[in-house]
Amino acid sequence: DTGVSQDPRHKITKRGQNVTFRCDPISEHNRLYWYRQTLGQGPEFLTYFQNEAQLEKSRLLSDRFSAERPKGSFSTLEIQRTEQGDSAMYLCASSPSGTGKKELFFGEGSRLTVL
């Protein structure tokens, strides 16, 4: 199947280290989204791409966070100098552009634990 794929599924790191997550969207989808979900909360929007262009970033995305989608296919989300408050599930989603259904298709998420 060609669902949204995220890697790694779980990352444990020490405070101050850098981490990178990768997302491979559904192949025909040109929109890609990153969300963050903390325990007991709903997903919160971080950023989204249309093809390789990053079109919107949330104020939640501090300057320690950077996301890229260099060729309009997979995307990476890097967190520099991690803090304990960064511990969360990072969800990637994709969707086709156009006037159709507004559904997002989510991956299984990458869980980050910062010690």
Partner 1 sequence: QKEVEQDPGPLSVPEGAIVSLNCTYSNSAFQYFMWYRQYSRKGPELLMYTYSSGNKEDGRFTAQVDKSSKYISLFIRDSQPSDSATYLCAMSYGAAGNKLTFGGGTRVLVKP
| Chain positions contacting partner 1, by CB under 8 A | 4, 31, 33, 40-45, 48, 50, 55-56, 89, 91, 93, 95, 101-109, 111
DSSP state of 36: E
In the complex, the smallest distance separating the C-beta of residue 49 from partner 1, rounded to whole angstroms, is 10
Q: Considering beta carbons, is residue 50 or 80 the nearer one to partner 1?
A: 50
In the complex, the smallest distance separating the C-beta of residue 106 from partner 1, rounded to whole angstroms, is 4
Q: Considering beta carbons, is residue 7 or 80 the nearer one to partner 1?
A: 7
Question: Rounded to an integer, what distance in angstroms lies between the CA atom of residue 91 and that of residue 43?
Answer: 8
Q: Considering beta carbons, is residue 21 or 48 the nearer one to partner 1?
A: 48
In the complex, the smallest distance separating the C-beta of residue 86 from partner 1, rounded to whole angstroms, is 18
CA distances from 57 to 35, 44, 63, 89, 115 (A): 11, 12, 11, 18, 27
Q: Considering beta carbons, is residue 65 or 90 the nearer one to partner 1?
A: 90
Contact (Cβ atoms closer than 8 angstroms) between residue 30 and residue 100: no
In the complex, the smallest distance separating the C-beta of residue 92 from partner 1, rounded to whole angstroms, is 8
Question: Rounded to an integer, what distance in angstroms lies between the CA atom of residue 10 and that of residue 48?
Answer: 22
CA nearest neighbour of 46 among 98, 113, 110: 110
